[in-house]
Structure 1
């Protein structure tokens, strides 16, 4: 599938900023089933951009801008070719061992209620892949019609117990917390999914490591594994570690953030 992406992030400041430093996790990497045809990251002010990589193997762009800055627009445009892999991640850069992804973070610690839900969802079988698919489907059933929304900083356990107004990133973190509580390495994935509607945030899903298969994707917002309509961009222990943008600014005043995102299917490998 050929997928076109337009992603614009707008920052507006109530007072001019003296300096801005941002780490942008906005560039997908090539894998066996994902090829970046074209990709451009641009800004609307005088800034330095430096391409690098982080400890998870993500492609990152460091942005440095000197003030006074009253507004900042970051734009991403590109096309990616994908192929169906039944959710299995093949050919990705893996600088860290799977056991690293058993590490809990403040946002992915499982409460007693979430652990009990995970244990009940997987049933009595011992096939690990089937258990993870059952957990994925159970989260979809409990939280149907989950949208892509900006990160509100919620933890997996708090979102699970609140039971309402959850986003794709919330249910992804629930899956991660539940999987790790069952001693399964799991990680967060940020990226794009081809749909007709425009959205205000990237899509989120997760991956779990299955012995004999490697990393396998699960999307609890659909109850299925990612297919060729997904573009995988960044991974991390939780949503914070794979955020599309993050950094610091030197200056007073308030910040407003707006995101405009369009992901369109263009067709096959033409």
Structure 2
């Protein structure tokens, strides 16, 4: 259990970084919803205050991938990508907004607890953070029931980008039985002063796989000069590599890595779909 002093120290250390994972407001065009998609049937439904995007194989499916930030993920989805996985149900868990990302709600849902419950974001006190303990049972309970209505899914993959990647790894480490496979894309490992590095992993009762993808060019420069930015990137890469090395020692866990060349943090979201969709099959 974390003390209040430790909690405040973690928040203070994380404060300069919290803004780095925010996405600029942009409207989701969602062209996939009106496209000609021979392999899947597309639909959108509301449940429990969330928006659920469904791409359902016309010939049925027993496997599904859950995409966090469903608005943004389905905005990047194309008929060709769906054609590459004709037997995979693609389920996006999003929010009732016209934007690609609901930065306020994702900040709460996807960030790990750092106290007994959600606390204010140091950068934006009106926005709570630290609600994964609340979101996970909602995701695996009523949202799963709504997303899989009419389906017979037996194998599930969870995929998330940035804060969503943070949530994906947190779920793998703390409640691995929630899904069968995990895909973490550009996960925000820095969040909470590296809170995931202090999580004691739950043992796996069976073999599981993790896809971890990120770019070698990620990092928000801000007002850093060239040398400072390069050191910042090198330190982040060293910390990430150490985290991955620890993951590889986790019994029954297979870690697959992919490094994108030269992509910015936001670009890895759409670039990850050709990897994560086949990974879920």
Q: Which has the higher contact order (CA 8 A, sep 6+)?
A: 1
**Which band: TM-score by shorter chain?**
under 0.3
| Larger relative strand fraction | 1
| Larger relative helix fraction | 2
**What is the TM-score of this pair, normalised by structure 1?**
0.25
**What is the TM-score of this pair, normalised by structure 2?**
0.24
